[in-house]
Amino acid sequence: MNRPSNDSDWLSSVADEYRKRGYSVLLEPRGADLPEFLRNYQPDLIALREDDRVIVEFKRDTKTTEPLEPLAKEARRHGWRLELLRMERTEEPEVDRAAGFLRTSAIKDRISEAKELVLNGHEQAALLLAWSAFEALVNVALTRKGASLARHSPRDIIAAATTMGMIDQGDGVDLAHYANLRNLIVHGQPLKSVSKAEVTSFLQAVDRMVA
């Protein structure tokens, strides 16, 4: 199953979250890596721990979980559980073709998706989505002012957000800290942990930026 690189990075982050919680993880397992009842189905990820066995399925462009209900039922029958990670798209075009950036409605969807990931214990994946929403908001704000960035490094994005007053300094949100976490995750560098409180604080700040 070939995925866009950003989807693959996101799924890898979910796998890392499971590993940190003591699971053995297989991405896109096939054949003998799968239990007998899954041999005719290729899940995106399975996570195994002594007290838990999880089938993780990543879905984009879907509004219903109905097609997966038989799989969820069969999984429960064999002592497994199914976790669906859904990435919804809006019905309108997600990208403003003139500006080349996400529409506000699509940005809101990303924030909602990130919140759901936090609730499911996938803090790293949530942080990546939250940062992408933040960066999109900055680019949209710049476009409305008739401006743009020559480079889109995290440092440049933070500088632009600060200049435009998008961050309330009273919030105590350390954007440089989140940029550093984002870089460590994206570049596969060692990372001790990302706490639920950290990601929630960043998400709340990004949420407040949405017009």
Residue that is written with structure tokens 């590993």 in the block: 19
Tokens for 35? 């239990």
Number of domains the chain contains = 2
Q: What is the pLDDT of residue 127?
A: 93
Write out the residue range of the structural domain in which residue 52 sits.
1-87
As beta bridge partners, residue 57 has 84
Please check whether residues 73 and 112 belong to one and the same domain. no
| Burial label, 52 (beta-carbon count in 10 A; 0-12, 13-18, 19+) | middle
Please check whether residues 98 and 184 belong to one and the same domain. yes
More confident residue, 28 or 163: 28
**Strands (DSSP E) found in 21-150:** 24-27, 45-49, 52-60, 81-87, 95-96, 101-102
pLDDT in tens, 108-131: 888 999 999 999 889 999 999 999
Please check whether residues 206 and 108 belong to one and the same domain. yes
Distance CA 146, CA 148 (A): 7
Q: What is the pLDDT of residue 57?
A: 85
Please check whether residues 124 and 189 belong to one and the same domain. yes
**pLDDT above 90: residue 200:** yes
**pLDDT above 80: residue 41:** yes
Give the Cα-Cα-Cα angle 178, 117, 9 (nearest 5 degrees): 65
**Of 31, 55, 87, which residue is a domain's last?**
87
**Of 71, 87, 103, which residue is a domain's last?**
87
Identify the CATH number of the domain in which residue 204 sits.
Answer: 1.20.120
More confident residue, 145 or 196: 196
User: Taking Cα atoms as reference points, which of 23, 21, 70 lies closest to residue 47?
Assistant: 23
Please check whether residues 34 and 95 belong to one and the same domain. no
Please check whether residues 111 and 42 belong to one and the same domain. no
pLDDT in tens, 83-106: 877 655 444 444 444 445 677 888
**pLDDT above 60: residue 144:** yes
**pLDDT above 90: residue 149:** no
